[in-house]
Amino acid sequence: MEPSQTRFKVYCSQCREKVELSASEFRLALGRTKERTFYSFTCPACGAAVRKPAGEKIVAALVDAGVSTMRLVQVEG
C-alpha cells in the first residue's frame, strides 16, 4: 500500500467513536522525551481536536505512512 493510501483506525477520546483516517489527516510531534511525543487528529465524528501519546511503534508506523512530522525543540531565552 502506498503511503498516501495508508489508513489507521483510532478512537476519539472525546466522543469514543472508532474512526478510520488517512495518513494525511494526522500530525506527529516528536518531543525530546517519549512523554512529549504525540500524534493528533481532528475527529470526523464530533470535530474534536484529539491528541494522544505516541510510543515507538506508533511513531514508526506513522512515519512509514508519510504522516506530517514536526520536531519539538526547547527555545532558549
Q: Give the residue extent of every domain in the chain.
A: 3-65
pLDDT of res. 1:
45
Among 16, 20, 27, 17, which residue's Cα sits nearest to residue 5? 20
pLDDT of res. 77:
63
Write the pLDDT tens digit of every residue in 62-74: 999 999 999 987 7
User: What is the pLDDT averaged over residues 20-28?
Assistant: 96
What is the Cβ-side half-sphere exposure of residue 3, based on CA atoms within 13 angstroms?
11
pLDDT of res. 32:
87
Q: In angstroms, rounded to a whole number, what is the distance separating the alpha carbons of residues 12 and 53?
A: 13
Q: In angstroms, rounded to a whole number, what is the distance separating the alpha carbons of residues 17 and 50?
A: 12
Write the pLDDT tens digit of every residue in 40-70: 999 999 999 999 999 999 999 999 999 999 9
**Is the pLDDT reported for residue 3 higher than 60?**
no
**Is the pLDDT reported for residue 5 higher than 90?**
no
Quote the Cα angle for 28-47-38, to 5°.
20
Local structure of 31: helix, strand or coil = coil
